[in-house]
Amino acid sequence: MKYFLADDSGSFREKVVILDFGGQYSMLIARRIRESGVYCELLPFDTSWNKIIELNPAGIILSGSPASVYSEDAPRCDPAVYSGGIPILGICYGMQLLSLELGGEVKRGTRPEFGRTSFNVVEKKPLFTDDLFLDQANNCGWMSHQDEVLKPPPNFTVLARTENNTMAAIGDNNRKIYGVQFHPEVFHTPGGNNVLKNFLFSVCECSQTWTPRSFIDNAVEIIRHTLGEDDKVVCALSGGVDSSVVAFLLDKAVGERAVYIFVDHGFLRLGEAEQVAKLYRERLKGQFIHLDARQQFLEKLAGVLDPEEKRMIIGAEFIKVFKDQALSMGDITYLAQGTIYPDVIESGSVSGAAVIKSHHNVGGLPEELGFDLIEPLRELFKDEVRLVGAELGLPDTILKRQPFPGPGLAVRIIGDITEKKLILLKKADAIFREEIIKSDLADTLWQYFAVYTGIDVVGVKGDDRHYGPVIALRAVHSEDAMTADWARLPHNLLEKVSARITGEIEEAARVVYDITSKPPGTIEWE
């Protein structure tokens, strides 16, 4: 099994390395740097100097950490980092660590600072040169530390001090090593982006080469190079943004030599399978195979109540359907997958990343299939995937699609799944989506959907008693699905949706709105 990613360009692409000491904002630092147009990679704090230098970075950032530099197992980087001649910016723990390692003094926390803290700039160059810092209101940073640098290392000067007289920023212009005690990457540090950009552009002399266009050019070249003159590639499409972007990249790179398989398990939303199939068929030059496996999935799931069992059955069936088709095509050597950067980090290849996904996505295909893998999005954050998709001309219906679980509506029908329940849920969900979109609220919500609760209750329809299912509506705000807040939707909107669902769907007896946040709830009901 060989892996090919888009970034096989080695030292050619200008990049910054972030050594991740396990700080809660490490990923955010990476996103800010990329938003500035500079490519960066998060590496474990203990990455060897040899490995770092192989990447030929223009700068190195030392992240924050929950540890104290005085804790027994305090994470440390390879000492060669400090003498390698590459500019360094230490953030919070990173500043304390470099201070200690280079001969300064760090005091164990007696005066912790948390939250927004004002500072006075002592020396503008190179981090605080922008006009914005002339306004004292902007001279503050988000702090979250116990230890503090008491004395900077020899040859360092103080660039900024807090009102508590702690060191907010230090630097050695000769060696181009800097430290900031605050977190420039967080929203609550008003000049934070400027500090990062000054480091990137004035100190490291980076240029803004990381753009969706440059990514696409590079990825296309790598795909062409990998596939050579004759090899064929297969790609599983789900209708989601990641697999669609992979497909459009393949299309650009090798056109007709790509084959696309869309396994329709029947659990997409109303009209969605037809909509995405139409798009793929019209826009992709390679063969597009639409496998209608709806009955097959329903049969496999008949009588299954347990959500995890549902997930496993759907995942296994998906692989089986895909595999049978792909292997029957004979001459395919490569499988293209939409793995993205957070998946790479979450699967533990970077230390300090605490979040492990519990959901194995439908569409994640096992290595045993025997194809070599191409993962062109392996270095992209989700928002970068969307930017690349937009540059490739994907429509908003795909790019702005709300997150949707791989097993789809199957985990939104509580209890056993039948075709009847599925049809009813699709209608209710379509009504809710339509009204949210009409009210211009779609872009403000993370996810919004209907749930078939599996409870039948009594109601009155016409002059008769009527027994029928309860439909629940769920709409949440979230940043990353790890936590979520239930959305305070306008009452008149809820009223309209409720009236339409009970009016237009004969069986529906009642509509309820879910007011549980996460935690303690989860976003999905199963």
Of 62-70, 143-151, 249-257, 403-411: span binding ligand XMP (CB under 6 A): 403-411
**What distances in angstroms separate CA 259 from CA 174, 220, 507, one per listed residue?**
55, 16, 42
| CB-nearer residue toward ligand XMP: 59 or 408 | 408
First to last CA, the chain: 35
| CB-nearer residue toward ligand XMP: 271 or 403 | 403
- Supply the minimum distance, in Å, between the C-beta of residue 361 and ligand XMP: 4
- Given 481, 493, 494, 512, the residue binding ligand XMP (CB under 6 A): 481
For residue 372, the surrounding DSSP H or E stretch is strand 372-375
Residues in region 406-445 near ligand XMP by CB under 6 A: 406-407, 411
| CB-nearer residue toward ligand XMP: 49 or 446 | 446
Joined together, the tokens standing for residue 390 give: 């937009």
- Supply the minimum distance, in Å, between the C-beta of residue 272 and ligand XMP: 15
- Supply the minimum distance, in Å, between the C-beta of residue 141 and ligand XMP: 32
Q: Which member of 14, 41, 185, 317 is catalytic? A: 185
Query: How many amino acids of this chain bind ligand XMP (CB under 6 A)?
Result: 14
Where are the strands (E) in 206-360, listed by range?
Answer: 233-237, 258-264, 287-292, 334-336
Q: Which residues of 273-291 are buried (b: 16+ CB within 10 A; e: fewer)?
A: bebbbebbeebbebebbbe
Residue 265 designated active-site? no
What is the distance between the alpha carbons of residues 268 and 283, in angstroms, rounded to a whole number? 21
- Supply the minimum distance, in Å, between the C-beta of residue 411 and ligand XMP: 6
| β pairing state of 233-237 and 39-44 | unpaired
Q: Which member of 40, 77, 92, 204 is catalytic? A: 92
Q: Is 524 in the site for ligand XMP (CB under 6 A)?
A: yes
What is the distance between the alpha carbons of residues 437 and 133, in angstroms, rounded to a whole number? 41
- Given 103, 271, 403, 490, the residue binding ligand XMP (CB under 6 A): 403
Residues in region 335-364 near ligand XMP by CB under 6 A: 359, 361
Residue 185 designated active-site? yes
Torsion from C-alpha of 196, 197, 201, 204, nearest 10 degrees:
10
Of 142-150, 164-172, 402-410, 489-497: span binding ligand XMP (CB under 6 A): 402-410
Q: What is the DSSP string of 455-470?
A: EEEEEEETTEEEEEEE
Residue 41 designated active-site? no
Q: Which member of 183, 204, 272, 435 is catalytic? A: 183
Q: What is the DSSP string of 418-436?
A: -HHHHHHHHHHHHHHHHHH
Q: Is 522 in the site for ligand XMP (CB under 6 A)?
A: yes
| CB-nearer residue toward ligand XMP: 53 or 441 | 441
| CB-nearer residue toward ligand XMP: 113 or 526 | 526
Q: What is the DSSP string of 182-206?
A: S-TTSTTSTTHHHHHHIIIIIIS--
Residue 350 burial class via C-beta count within 10 angstroms: exposed 0-12, middle 13-18, buried 19 and up: buried
What is the distance between the alpha carbons of residues 28 and 18, in angstroms, rounded to a whole number? 11
Interacting residue ranges for ligand XMP, rule: CB under 6 A: 311, 359, 361, 403, 405-407, 411, 447, 481, 518, 522-524
Residues classed as catalytic: 92, 183, 185
